[in-house]
Structure 1
Amino acid sequence: METSTLEALAVGLLAFFAAGYFVLGGADIGTGMLTPYLGRGDAERRLVLTSFAPFFLGNEVWLVATAGLLIGCFPELEGELLSGQFAVVVPLLAGWVVRDAGLWLRGRVDARRWRAGCDGAVVCGSWAVALAWGWLLAALFSGSVHSPAGGPVAVLTALAVAALFAAHGLGFAALRLTGEPYVRARVLVGRTGRPWQSFALTGVLMAALPLLAGVALPLAHAAADGAALAFLVPALLVVTPLLVAVQACVWRAFRHRVTRPSYV
């Protein structure tokens, strides 16, 4: 394949993985952000966490794939992003680690304070991730990769993106929960609306975030050389359908509503 074709495919794959992460990962991040609202007691919070616990690791694979593709196919841009947005990447990764630790460790100790602390880690970590993504996107929307965004526009963008994460999480929770948490999750669709409509709408908006950011980035001029693309792009084209198939199997296996807590 010609280099221009490989570059176009690399850009398309990057957009696909990034959009996939925001739609899928954004659902469990948003639900984690609203855990105190959806679950008012220990049992209800455990039910809320159970609603997305089977998905969060698989959803994070899309972020890992996005980062790997950025490093392999756009190494120059990746270096500029990491160095220029270091102040944003650190809280994003810290929130990611804290959130995952809360999910992994919550069920390891049978003590109310321990579970409350882990719940706090999930909530705070989820908010940190959502706000950090908003802060990063504020810079990328303007095409700036060398320094974090600042000023009122950056603050408003971060808050708006976090609000979209939360709305997306509510839509997901309305599809998964039962009982009182389900009633609270339906706040966006009301009594007559269908939960999937809210989730579909916020999903489209979530997918649009990285796509809009990518339009402002010099992706076409930052691609790796032809030899690297000739090796990486065909390999990714083979792996991508497998990733999608596994993700589809996971969502199908856990498609039913949650009626009782799991290991968390």
Structure 2
Amino acid sequence: MTSLDILAIALLAFFATGYFVLAGADIGTGMLTPYLGRTDHERRLVITSFAPFFLGNEVWLIATAGVLVGCFPDLEGELLSGQFAVLVPLLTGWIVRDIGLWSRGRGPGPRWRALCDGAVVCGSWTVAPAWGWLLAGLLTGTPYEAATGPTAILTALAVAALFAAHGLGFATLRLTGLPYERARLLVGRTGSWQSFALTAVLLGALPALAGSTLPLTEHAADGATLALLVPALLVLTPLLVAAQVWTWRTFRHRVTRPSYL
């Protein structure tokens, strides 16, 4: 194993972990929107709590896919073909969710907003267990075929529950009024930051554990390709982190009124 192999694996793990921790917050909050927001105004508050973050969070997934395609092309092809049945609902849920978020404030009235809210919730509830289904195959040592049976079902449900818990902790940090009170009720005596930090650690551990089962070294690209891609990624990574820090710092205050969504 060369130093470039190690750096490529580290970058893949870093981006995947970043996605699960950051995007897990907005996916989880989207899953809980019907509980947190009982009225149109409250639902707008809930969506406003994560609206500034979701696009930036998705960049981490794109970066993960980019590292996988560029630095581990053979493995990427085998994974995509083997996990095709999982990727279809995952990508479908992702698209439906984003359409709901983008379209909510651009429709004619409350029925349109309710339809978009439904798309956000359904998309979120599709994406979260789909990730669990994918992880079930990786964690059980069958990365080249979709997991089946009770293990796949239980893993999908457990991961979905973890996403929801992460979103709940995020909601207690961002919301105010009745939506905050509802989130705080489920968090219980655990502090908001403690709850969010705990679920962040658990979600961050999932891609690391799954990645440890993959033959990454054996499927790494040739030295010339890594010599070109890895330094470029090392230059771009601090920029991505800086942009993410700026976004979270800018929108660090609690939501008190709805946005254009």
Normalised-by-shorter TM-score class: over 0.9
Q: CA deviation at 1:188?
A: 4.0
Q: CA deviation at 1:134?
A: 0.4
Counterpart position of 1:153: 151
Higher mean C-alpha displacement, 107-116 vs 207-216: 107-116
| 1:87-166 pair list within 5 angstroms | 87-166=85-164
Instruction: List per-residue Cα deviations over 1:97-152 (Å, max 9, x = no partner).
Output: 00000000000013111000000000000010001100000000022122100000
- Counterpart Cα distance in 1 of 2:193 and 2:11: 26
| 1:55-70 pair list within 5 angstroms | 55-70=53-68
- Counterpart Cα distance in 2 of 1:19 and 1:188: 26
- Counterpart Cα distance in 1 of 2:221 and 2:82: 20
Alignment partner of 1:198 out of 195, 199, 202: 195
Determine helix, strand or coil for the equivalent of 2:105. helix
- Counterpart Cα distance in 2 of 1:12 and 1:97: 28
Determine helix, strand or coil for the equivalent of 2:2. helix
Q: Structure 1 residue 248 and structure 2 residue 245: aligned?
A: yes
Q: Structure 1 residue 6 and structure 2 residue 13: aligned?
A: no
- Counterpart Cα distance in 1 of 2:85 and 2:139: 17
Count matched residues.
261
Contact 2:168–2:187 (Cα < 8 Å) also in 1? no
Higher mean C-alpha displacement, 165-174 vs 180-189: 180-189
Report sequence identity in percent. 75
- Counterpart Cα distance in 1 of 2:185 and 2:10: 35
- Counterpart Cα distance in 1 of 2:150 and 2:166: 24
Determine helix, strand or coil for the equivalent of 1:261. coil
Contact 1:188–1:198 (Cα < 8 Å) also in 2? no
Counterpart position of 1:75: 73
| 1:165-180 pair list within 5 angstroms | 165-180=163-178
Alignment-mate amino acid for residue 258 of structure 2: P
Q: CA deviation at 1:86?
A: 0.3
- Counterpart Cα distance in 2 of 1:189 and 1:83: 40
Q: CA deviation at 1:18?
A: 0.1
Counterpart position of 2:224: 227
Counterpart position of 2:180: 182
- Counterpart Cα distance in 1 of 2:170 and 2:70: 33
- Counterpart Cα distance in 1 of 2:84 and 2:2: 31
Determine helix, strand or coil for the equivalent of 2:108. coil
Q: Calculate the TM-score normalised by the size of structure 2.
A: 0.98
Instruction: List per-residue Cα deviations over 1:136-185 (Å, max 9, x = no partner).
Output: 00000022122100000100000000000000000001000000100111
Alignment partner of 2:208 out of 197, 207, 211: 211
- Counterpart Cα distance in 1 of 2:218 and 2:186: 42
Alignment-mate amino acid for residue 251 of structure 1: W
Q: CA deviation at 1:194?
A: 2.0
Contact 1:18–1:63 (Cα < 8 Å) also in 2? yes
- Counterpart Cα distance in 2 of 1:51 and 1:113: 22
Determine helix, strand or coil for the equivalent of 1:122. helix
- Counterpart Cα distance in 1 of 2:2 and 2:175: 47
Alignment-mate amino acid for residue 238 of structure 1: V
Q: CA deviation at 1:80?
A: 0.4
Alignment partner of 1:17 out of 3, 15, 18: 15
- Counterpart Cα distance in 2 of 1:85 and 1:98: 20
Moved over 4 A (4+): none
5+ long unaligned stretches in structure 1: none
- Counterpart Cα distance in 2 of 1:8 and 1:167: 33
